[in-house]
Amino acid sequence: MTDILLIEDDERLGTLIANYLRKHGYLVVVETDGAQAVGTILEHAPTVVLLDLSLPGQDGFEICRAVRSRYGGVICMLTARIDDIDQVLGLELGADDYIGKPIEPRVLLARLRAHMRRDSAARQTGSILRFGQLCIERDTREVTLYERRIELTTAEFDLLALLADRAGQILSRDDLLRNLRGINFDGLDRSIDGRISRLRRKLGDLAEEPERIKTVRGRGYLFNRAAWE
């Protein structure tokens, strides 16, 4: 199984990144053509897709949109575009992380290792969480609500499982980021808010004041164990 699929049209940069990751023991495949990227992701089913945003043939947003429902691994967007709008769009389309260029290779390696550790740990945990009609199966990473399967990305599943593990507790953005990505909240990272929004939409928590994953103003988010009947 491929560890990392790097989709990058800059061949020199792609070679440098791939060689660095290979030196640290990872099996890396490089794809330079955006038009071929979706097929390559589905063929190799990597643990992590490191996806450049600006690609010939099909850009990173289009690739993420096209593949997200069929690929359950981690998608990290790698880009020199740092606009908030681009970051929010990428996360809304199902990306798990947004990594700005240029990035120090050791920092990139640490980010990828963190994603892979969380993915591995989640897959190895065999517990099942049940709240009324909601069932979260850690071993298969499946979520069902009213016996209907809910399709979640890796990041969405990890966030839901963390919230459910601590049902009834208020978790701040800092709590969530430290548990999910091993970093502290810097006041600018909107990835948690985007994931919460997507989870609410997928779990039918669409009221003006959501009841299943509640916002506690000024403090964070709370998983309501009583709201799943």
pLDDT in tens, the chain (229 residues): 578 999 999 999 999 999 999 999 899 999 999 999 999 998 888 989 999 998 988 999 999 989 887 787 889 998 887 677 777 788 778 888 888 888 899 999 998 988 887 766 555 555 788 888 999 988 788 999 998 999 998 889 999 999 998 888 888 888 888 888 765 545 455 678 888 999 999 999 987 789 999 998 888 899 888 788 7
Q: How far apart are CA 21 and CA 16, in angstroms?
A: 9
**Nearest-angstrom CA–CA distance, 222 and 152:** 19
Q: Which amino acid is at 27?
A: L
Start-end ranges of CATH 3.40.50.2300 in the chain? Answer: 4-121
Q: Which listed CATH number (1.10.10.10, 3.40.50.800, 3.20.20.120, 3.40.120.10) goes with 126-223? A: 1.10.10.10
Q: Are the beta carbons of 170 and 101 closer than 8 angstroms? A: no
Entry pTM: 0.58
Cα 41 from chain centroid (whole Å): 15
Class of domain 4-121: alpha beta
Domain with CATH 1.10.10.10 in the chain: 126-223
